[in-house]
Structure formats: C-alpha cells, structure tokens
Amino acid sequence: MVVYIPFISGEYMGLDSREFVYQLFSEFYSDPANAVPAPPLAHQREFGYLMFREKFMVRHRRFEQIANFRVVLADTVPSDVYHSCAYYDNPDFDMDKKGWIGSDVVFDIDADHIPTACNKIHDEFRCVACGFEGRGTTPEVCPCCGATKFETKIWACDLCIASARNEVAKLLDMLENDFGFAQDEVRVFFSGHRGYHIHLESETIRSLDAMARREIVDYVTGLGLSLLEKNKPKPQEEKPQKKPSVKKFNLHNYGWNRRLKRGMQTFLESALPADLKEAGLQNKTLLESKETIIKRAINEGLWESIPGVSVQTWLKLTEHIRQEQAAKIDTVVTTDTHRLIRMNGTLHGKTGLKKVEFKSKELQSFDPFTEAVAFKKGKVKVLVSDAPEFRMSGETLGPYKNQTVELPVAAAVLLICKKRAEVAP
C-alpha cells in the first residue's frame, strides 16, 4: 500500500535549478555503479522515499528483492530515501497491522544538537509568522510573536563535522568498552548532511522495548548518576541514634564512575582559573592542591581527605565532567522502535552528498567532503546569493556574495540544495 503524505517546504529553489539537480539525481540512481546496498533482512523492513518533483512522501513499501527497489529509485528519482529500523511481519500494512518483530538500536548525532561557535556565523532563521530573523541555533519559540514555525538556512563546516565526530568517538567508546559490543557489531555512517548515524543490528538487542532503549539513552547521556552513598554505622553501634543521614561522595572504578574519575584527572592536570570559572567552580583548592587531589582523592578514593573541598564542590566538578563526557545524541531517534532512517548509499536532498558507511577505526580520517561526494565530474555556472568558505573534493571554495561563479558540480548542487545559489542563465 502506498500512502501519500504532503511535503511542506518554506522556499523552493528556482525551476531551472531544481530540474538541474533532479537530472543529476536521476543519473545517479540509474547508474548500476551506484546500486544502493541492501540493509539486513530487507524484506522485513518498511521503505519510504520523498518524491523530488511532487514533494510528497511515499511510505509503507515492501520489497522482497532489493533489486526491485533499485528500479523504483531509478524510475521515481526521490530526493531522500529511508528504511525502517524495525522488522515487521507485514512491512507494507498500516502501522497497527504491521506486526512488529524487533528493531535495530540506532543513534543519530547531528551538529544541529551541538552548540558550536560557527553556528552564529553560518546558520540563519526567520519566523514565518512575523519575519523575525536571527543567526545561530533556531529557537523553539519566536521571541517576538511566540510562533513555532521557522524558515532556516543551515550549513555544515569543518567545525560542525569535527564537533559531531567528537560525540561519535565518545559514543563508540561507551558502546565498545561499557556495553561490550565488538567493533564489527557497530556500524558507523556519515549521514550525508551534518552528522553521523550509528547502527546496532545485533539480534540480541532487537527485542528491546522503548523503556529499555530509554535506559541506554540515559546511560549514554549520563542521566541519573548516583554519586553519593549513605554513611554506614560502625560495627560497635548496635543501636545508632536517629540522626539525619549523612551522604558521602564516592566514585568506584566501573562505568560512568570510572569515566568521571578519568575526566576529573584530565581536567585538573591542565586546568587554569578560566577553566574553573567556565565550570562554575570558585574553589581555588582545586588548582592549588591538584596533585594531592589526583593522588589521594581520585586514585585512592579518599575524597574527604582534601581540606577545603566539600561534597558540593565534588558534585559540581563531576557535573561539569559529565556534560563533557556525555554523548550528545538525538534521544528520540534511539527510543523510537518504528523509526525510519536514511538508507545507506542514497543521496541527501539537502546537500547532494551520500550517506556512507565506514569502519569505526577510520572515524578520525574519514573526510565527508571527499568520500561522500556523489558528483565528481563537470562544472557549472551558478549565481550565488551568499555562501561561506567551504571545502569540496579537496578544493577550498568561497566565500561568495551575490556573484556568478563556475563551480564543480558537487559544490553547485550543495549550494542549490541549501537555497544559496541558482543555475546561472
């Protein structure tokens, strides 16, 4: 069964430019060299795609053979392609009749959710209701009129990608060292835009419900940590007097506690007064006695042996470390057992780049602006309204402002998809 969902867009690119990108997408999906790989158990997944020209979403499609889906892609030329993280008895039925079998655990890490200094430089938003404009992270509510709909222009620079990459590194460390997943059980992808997807497709976790996945999310983000323990009465105190329980600060050597201790040591070893201020700490003892703190408190567990450092100071310090150590993920994606995720090997409609898989050990060396480029030949003249400096296929381009330039096709597609350029007449 096919369900047509209207797609609402704030601003369309000019017809000639849209047709230019459409033809490139058509050539891409018609080329056997670009055949999209099949996800595991493809016949049990729902497939969906956003139509390029008609601008509606097709969902609840089932394909017994991935070759048939490749034909559909070549015929329909979608702007974005998805498959379900879930496995169903009947993927092409309505949601309440699909027959849920299980679902992969998927993490989405996107620069949109990571505050960076570059956001204020290249990201713009405009309230649809009153026209209020600004730069940086788009607010949830317009500060002028209270509306919630915005037109946005966002960008992906090297700093954005580096920030997202750093969060992926933290997540992979947790999955491998805390959860015990082997490297070959964790699949890592560049999303095609401003971030990464991490897929856990192990059969042992497919049956986890939303509550269990919430527990994983809480661990990854460091929520609900217990860092205080009650004082135990001494053996000779058979009937201790009823007094308010005193809680002690303590960290053991496992899981998040180990991460906090390791992070505290790293922080103190290089901390300057400005670092303490940024962390909301004013206790100079942390700097003056850092070697003693590392030796006696962090390494030996004698947290009460440092004069002038209270339980509240330890808690403030660990909260700062928690925020630094936690992986910034889109929590809704991981807990949703019916989520659609972008399909590997397909094009992203906002950039023209591909979603690409790579090995986790290649995280630091993987360059999205080279290895996710789909269109590697030719040049085209475009009229650029506004574009910051950017890289594409090893070439540094821009910045541009209201000028006509000849660009590599991949760069032109990126600017057109980002509503920053049109094909020159």
pLDDT in tens, 156-173: 899 999 999 999 999 999
| Residue 259 confidence (pLDDT) | 95
pLDDT single digits (tens) 194-203: 999 999 998 8
Predicted pLDDT at 233: 54
Segment 395-405 mean pLDDT = 96
Q: Which residue has the higher pLDDT, 107 or 12?
A: 107
DSSP state of 371: H
CB atoms within 10 A of CB 316: 18
Q: Which of these, 408, 417, 335, lies nearest to 377 by C-alpha position?
A: 408
How many other CB atoms sit within 10 Å of the CB of residue 289? 19
In this structure, of 115-129, 158-172, 206-220, the range with the lowest mean pLDDT score is 115-129
Most confident option among 6-20, 136-150, 165-179: 165-179
pLDDT at residue 320 in the model: 96
Cβ neighbourhood burial of 78 (10 Å; 0-12, 13-18, 19+):
buried
In the predicted model, is pLDDT for residue 295 greater than 60?
A: yes
Number of neighbouring beta carbons within 10 Å of residue 37: 11
Residue 424 has pLDDT above 60, yes or no: yes
Q: What is the CA radius of gyration of the chain?
A: 26
pLDDT at res. 238: 53
* pLDDT computed for residue 274 by the predictor: 94
Instruction: Please give the pLDDT value at position 231.
Output: 59
* Region 209-238 average pLDDT: 82
**Tens of pLDDT, residues 246-267:** 678 999 999 999 999 999 999 9
Tell me which residue of 337, 335, 332 sits closest to 100, measured CA to CA.
337
User: pLDDT grade, residue 3 (50/70/90)?
Assistant: very low
Residue type, 316: K
What does the mean pLDDT of the chain come to?
A: 91
Is the model's pLDDT at 122 over the cut of 70? Answer: yes
Chain length of the chain: 425
The Cα 267–Cα 218 span in angstroms is: 23
Are 323 and 170 contacting, i.e. CB atoms less than 8 angstroms apart?
Answer: no
> Could you tell me what percent of the chain has a pLDDT over 70?
92
- Is residue 136 within 8 Å of 123, Cβ to Cβ? yes
Q: What is the pTM of this model?
A: 0.89
Could you tell me which residues are beta bridge partners of residue 381? Answer: 406
Peptide bond into 143 cis (omega under 30): no
